[in-house]
Each structure stands twice: as C-alpha cells, then as structure tokens.
Amino acid sequence: MSHGEAYAVVKGRIPEPEEKRRLYQQASDALTGMLAGETDGVLTMSTIAAVLHQSMPHYFWTGFYRVVGDALLVGPYQGTPACLRIAHGRGVCGSAWAEERTMLVKDVHAFPGHIACDARSASEIVVPWRDVSGAVVAVLDVDSDQTAAFDEIDQEWLENLAAAFPGTNG
Ligand code: SME
C-alpha cells in the first residue's frame, strides 16, 4: 500500500483516551518508518504535519512555525491559510517559543493575546521543536475546532515526536 491510502480520517470528534493513544502510536510508528535516515528539515516537518493531520480526528490545523531571526514564520502545514509571522512572545506560539515549553490551551478565547488565524479554532497545543543541540528552531502548532480537544496524552506524544525527530535551522 502506498503511504496515502492508509489515511482516511473523519474530522470533528475528540477521540477517547484509549483511541487517542492508539492513533498516536500508529502515527509515530508510521513516521519512524518513513523518516528513517532523513535529516532535511522541510522534509521532516512536512511529513510530520501530514501524517498527524490525516491521522487525528480532533486536528483542525496542523503545522510548524520556524524561528527565523526575531520572529516565527509559518512553515509546512495542513489546513486553512494561516498567519504568516508571529513575534517573539506573542500569542500561543510566540509564548511557547519564548518560554520554551508546551502550551496547552483548552479555550483559546480565554488566552490573553491569542492570535486567531481562523475563527473556528477553539483549543490549541503548541510544542517547542529543538535541534540536536537543544536550541528551539520551530514550534509545532495544532488547533482544534472543538474546545478542550487536547490534554496530557497529546502533550506526551507530541513531545516524544519532537525528541525523536529533531528540527534543523534552515
Ligand atoms: N493561534 C496561534 C496562531 C497560529 S494559528 O492558530 C495557525 C497563536 O495564538 O499563536
């Protein structure tokens, strides 16, 4: 089977914990196979965004913002056209970069300074992406159109993926 045929997710539903873990395990296994021996940054980010977005029913927008100078610039993503640039410390993505920690936002409307690229986004998780030296070179941003779609299960698996597939700055 080719890579694409395995994916046929129906959107708009938050999986139960058991199913969520199973979907992350499958996505992680698929990425481990596909990305074996690969180090190119765009190749890696594109493939992670595609596999996650096409695997997860609760993902509405899935993609990377790259650290370029003093701003985050949009990188490989799946979803509706997004904000192009985010300043250091601004919004959920800029905060995750500045604070170098995962931001888990159950209700984006309650997050001061949230940047609404698409009004349908209701909850969000943003995970810093480091290179092999430990420097944050990007963030992975996932939005859901449902409130409280993300929890500690998403955080644990996405942080594991960040550790398994380090970013590159370039
Ligand atoms: N909501 C994000 C901006 C990026 S978009 O959602 C794709 C934020 O507040 O940083």
- Closest atom of ligand 1 to 113 CA is 9
pLDDT at 1: 45
Residue 83 lies inside a defined structural domain of this protein:
yes
CATH code, 119: 3.30.450.40
Q: Look at residues 135, 120, 133, 134 and name the one whose alpha carbon lies nearest to residue 59.
A: 120
pLDDT at 169: 76
Instruction: Find the residues whose C-beta lies inside 6 A of ligand 1.
Output: 61, 82-83, 86, 91-94, 114-115, 117, 121, 124, 141, 143
pLDDT (tens digit per residue) in 135-155: 999 999 999 999 999 999 999
Residue 151 lies inside a defined structural domain of this protein:
yes
Residue 153 lies inside a defined structural domain of this protein:
yes
pLDDT (tens digit per residue) in 2-49: 667 677 788 989 999 999 999 999 999 999 999 999 999 999 999 999
Residue 169 lies inside a defined structural domain of this protein:
no
Distance 53 CA to ligand 1 centre (A): 16
CA distances from 153 to 16, 108, 124, 170 (A): 10, 19, 14, 30
Q: How many helices (H) and strands (E) does the chain have?
A: 4, 6
- Category of 103 on φ-ψ map: left (φ > 0), alpha (ψ -120 to 50) or beta: beta
Residue 130 lies inside a defined structural domain of this protein:
yes
Split into its structural domains, the chain has a count of 1
Mutate to test the pocket of ligand 1, among 59, 118, 143 (most ligand atoms within 8 A of CB): 143
Residue 129 to residue 134: CA distance in whole angstroms:
9
* Residue 170 confidence class, pLDDT cut points 50, 70, 90: low
Mean pLDDT for 45-72 is 97
Residue 120 lies inside a defined structural domain of this protein:
yes
Q: Are 144 and 136 in contact (CB under 8 A)?
A: no
Mutate to test the pocket of ligand 1, among 64, 115, 120, 145 (most ligand atoms within 8 A of CB): 115
Domain span at 40? 4-164
pTM of the model: 0.95
Residue 82 lies inside a defined structural domain of this protein:
yes
Residue nearest to atom 6 of ligand 1 (CA): 117
Residue 170 lies inside a defined structural domain of this protein:
no
pLDDT (tens digit per residue) in 88-127: 999 999 999 999 999 999 999 999 888 888 899 999 999 9
